[in-house]
Structure 1
Amino acid sequence: MEKSLLGKVALVTGGSRGLGAVTAQALADQGADVAITYVASAEKAEAVVAKLKAKGVRALAIKNDQADTSAAKPLIDEVVAYFGKLDILVNNAAIAVQGQTVDDPNLDVENLDRQWQINVMGPVSVTRAAAPVLSNGGRIIFIGSLLGTQVPFQGAADYAGTKAALIGYAKGVARDLGSRSITVNVVQPGVMPTDMAAQVLGDDGAPDALLDLHPIRRIATLEEVSALVGFLAGPNGGYMTGGVLDVAGGLSI
């Protein structure tokens, strides 16, 4: 594989599992040194770091709770202190609280509010902290969701709202940082084989009714989504900014 990111430093939030871990490995495959964040499982995070180092790159796991916006600047400071710079920021960390309609009298407001804090204010605070130190020509990539622009089922209003918020924010950041040739884009996956999806869909996975809405009748692979992130992070993504790119099997058409 061409080492198009050799000499670059990337930060992937929520990189200890799921799409974050696969994305971290995809960036390392292209030669980037990679920092990841995790909340609870140091063991899982260090296992990812070991895989990254085995690819011949520098790697670091940092415990960071994205719900705490005051932790964003210390996170960025630690990345820059360890690697010397930051070129690529992948805002991946998020949670999914779904399943209740907004008129449910037992609506779980506490966890829905926490979802807004983690999914919106988390990446906002990390982006604000990273922007002043991000290298000119750098990349910011938000992991959104197809639900940010298309909501094909009930019980996802707040989650969809958090992902829609990222779109407007990313476009504004793209405008703010464009003079420094920093690109800012949103990648919108559909359903993926992650722990977070399993929590929403249950052990049976995506139901037939949901799959039937897809022209390509299957869920995305983590590698398909991470490949798009890798493209946007690389040199061929240098003239794409403010974009919202779906990796969802055509569910949005």
Structure 2
Amino acid sequence: MPDMTRPVALVTGGGTGVGRACVLQLADQGYDVVVNYSRSQDDAEATAKEASAKGVTAITVQCDVADDVCVRAMMDQIKTQFGRLDVVINNAAMTHFVPHDDLEGLTEPMWDRMLGVNLKGPFFVTRAAADMLRQGNGGSVVNVSSVAALTGMGSSIGYCAAKGGLNTMTKSFARILAPEVRVNSVCPGPIDSRWIRDGNPDWDLNEMVTNYPIPKASQPSDIADAVLFFAVHSQMATGQILSVDGGQTL
């Protein structure tokens, strides 16, 4: 049984990469954790098991965040099992790797899916979580965005646009959920994870970052450090967009 006095965090896309790193760091901070996944069940269960070994309760919940009905059912499950929700990390994301000059290659179904997961998903999750977040002692939402939202460069035009919308939505939610809930966004640059390695094996991470002031790709834990800063450690920051990119956007 979960300890009802412990804070609870939901991490969407929590089984791998940045999501996994966030789950483990939240567990280190004493949070019970809900590890959401869409397809990566084995990864999510392995992450939850590792978090549980730290002395907290960690569960997995399958849910496509682009499906509002599914999101609301997930939130009902969290309320039934834990009775509270203190932190939401909107980390679930997807992309299609389409060269920006290949305008015809970016199809309407690609647009729909990227907007569904990367933009509508965080809206659905935050909306469904709002009441529980307001009831605590200072709720927090952190959206994992991308420097693609700032530069317009990335895996596809659709991905850049969706993440740009996420940054704008971060500011909107920060206003309407204040003062009970803080809402911030972290914008990673290139991350050494299977997101890029599997998504587009032709991309050379070392080449991508060679001219950055800090010429190396981030590790998932580097991004989780920034997420945890907003989620747990900073009580006065809201509506902020923080780049964690080795200086790419200088």
SS class of match (1:179): coil
Code of the residue aligned with 2:230 in structure 1: it is L
Superposition deviation, residue 43 in structure 1? 2.0
Determine if contact 2:152/2:161 at 8 Å carries over to the other structure.
no
CA distance in 2, matches of 1:105, 1:170: 30
For this pair of structures, how many residues does the alignment match?
A: 244
Q: Provide Cα deviations, 1:59-96, integer angstroms capped at 9, x if missing partner.
A: 11001012212211111111121111000000000002
* 213-222 vs 195-204, which moves further: 195-204
With over 3 angstroms needed to count, the CA separation of the structure-2 counterparts of 1:51 and 1:22, relative to structure 1, is: same
Name the counterpart of 1:3. none
- Which residue of 1 is the match for residue 157 of structure 2? 157
For 1:113-132, what aligned pairs fall within 5 Å after superposition?
Answer: 113-132=112-131
The Cα of 1:242 is off from its aligned counterpart by 0.4
| Aligned equivalents of 1:97, 1:159: Cα separation in 2 | 8
CA drift of 1:168 comes to 1.0
1:89 equivalent in alignment to 2:92:
no
Helix, strand or coil at the partner of 1:37: strand
Measured on the aligned residues, the alpha-carbon RMSD in Å equals 1.7
- The aligned counterpart of 2:248 is 251
Q: Which amino acid aligns with 1:193?
A: D
After superposition, the Cα gap between the structure-2 partners of 1:21 and 1:206, relative to the gap in structure 1 and judged at 3 Å, is same
Q: How far, CA to CA, are the matches of 2:101 and 2:153 in structure 1? A: 15
Alignment partners' CA distance in 1, 2:113 and 2:75? 22
Q: 4+ runs of 1 displaced by more than 4 Å?
A: none
Among the aligned pairs, what percent are the same residue?
A: 33
Question: 1:143 & 1:9 partners in 2: Cα distance?
Answer: 18
CA distance in 1, matches of 2:47, 2:137: 28
Give the counterpart of 1:233 among 211, 231, 234: 231
Q: Specify the SS of the correspondent of 1:15.
A: coil
